[in-house]
């Protein structure tokens, strides 16, 4: 059975200027970062599909990303993989005083509150003078995720709707504003602003429903793909291509694909 040391050795060999891999040697933090994000999403996809054989492989791919970044950092004399392990171990111990010290936390909500309080103290100790409830939310997050974090932090101060009903009312209000902009022939800047407001409220609705936005959108994407592919198959069975089928006929194919899926 191979160990993490074997993976570190392989990565070092790939990055060795003397006989290493030309592709791996050309990479830097900026070029590898998109692969890191992609691998994280592939892990989430395997979990969503409950494909644990695939999850094993995807977790390996994600681990490789950590090792790759650590190797480049070691080459630049910033830090090594051992420092990454030390840092995360120290963080986990520090941020779980209810497990590793004598603090108390009765439920997951209390743990989350303690975690955020410890993070604030850590930022202050590092000289961060931003005391806003919104401090420390990374700007590199996918925007839907950053929206959810902004809303959650704001809610921790009491700035929140009491339930989903007023969020639904706000959603209708924002939708009406988008309709009005279209009717007025608004330009891209105005539409970007209003559609952004609409999407922000959609994220808030998901938060109130305790639904992960990414998971919901993945399900919607998968459902659309299944039904669209079935439309293509139905058109092919009828001896035609979907691209040449009139819109009203395409809509009937869509309805048929939906009905088949629900019946199945």
In the prediction, which pLDDT does 125 show? 84
In the prediction, which pLDDT does 206 show? 96
In the prediction, which pLDDT does 70 show? 98
In the prediction, which pLDDT does 33 show? 94
State whether CATH 1.10.287.1080 applies to domain 132-211.
yes
Q: Is 249 helix (H, G, I), strand (E, B) or coil?
A: helix
CB 201 within 8 A of CB 167: yes
State whether CATH 1.10.3720.10 applies to domain 4-94.
no
CB atoms within 10 A of CB 59: 15
Q: What's the number of CA atoms in the CB half-sphere (13 Å) around residue 258? A: 7
| pLDDT averaged over 10-residue windows placed end to end, the chain, 264 residues | 96 97 97 94 91 97 98 98 97 93 86 84 83 85 91 92 95 97 95 97 96 90 95 93 93 94 87
CB 28 within 8 A of CB 72: yes
Calculate the alpha carbon distances from 172 to 111, 118, 205 in Å.
Answer: 35, 38, 12
Two structure tokens written together for 205: 């609705």
């Amino acid at each position: 059975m191979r160990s993490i040391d074997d993976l570190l050795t392989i990565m070092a060999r790939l990055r060795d200027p003397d006989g290493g891999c030309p592709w791996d040697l050309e990479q830097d933090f900026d070029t590898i970062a998109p692969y890191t994000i992609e691998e994280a999403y592939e892990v989430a996809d395997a979990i969503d599909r409950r494909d644990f054989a695939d999850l094993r492989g995807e977790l390996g791919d994600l681990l490789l990303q950590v090792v790759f970044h650590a190797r480049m950092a070691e080459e630049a004399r910033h830090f090594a993989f051992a420092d990454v392990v030390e840092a995360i171990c120290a963080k986990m111990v520090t941020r779980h005083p209810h497990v590793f010290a004598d603090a108390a936390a009765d439920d997951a909500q209390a743990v989350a509150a303690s975690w955020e309080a410890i993070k604030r103290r850590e930022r202050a100790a590092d000289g961060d003078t931003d005391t806003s409830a919104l401090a420390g939310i990374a700007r590199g997050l996918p925007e839907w995720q950053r929206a959810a974090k902004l809303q959650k932090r704001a809610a921790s101060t009491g700035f929140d709707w009491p339930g989903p009903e007023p969020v639904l009312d706000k959603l209708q209000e924002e939708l009406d504003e988008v309709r009005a902009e279209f009717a007025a022939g608004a330009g891209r800047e105005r539409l970007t602003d209003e559609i952004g407001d609409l999407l922000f409220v959609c994220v808030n609705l998901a938060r109130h429903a305790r639904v992960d936005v990414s998971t919901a959108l993945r399900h919607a994407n998968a459902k659309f793909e299944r039904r669209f592919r079935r439309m293509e198959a139905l058109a092919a069975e009828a001896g035609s291509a979907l691209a040449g089928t009139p819109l009203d006929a395409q809509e009937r194919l869509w309805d048929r694909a939906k009905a088949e899926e629900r019946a199945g």
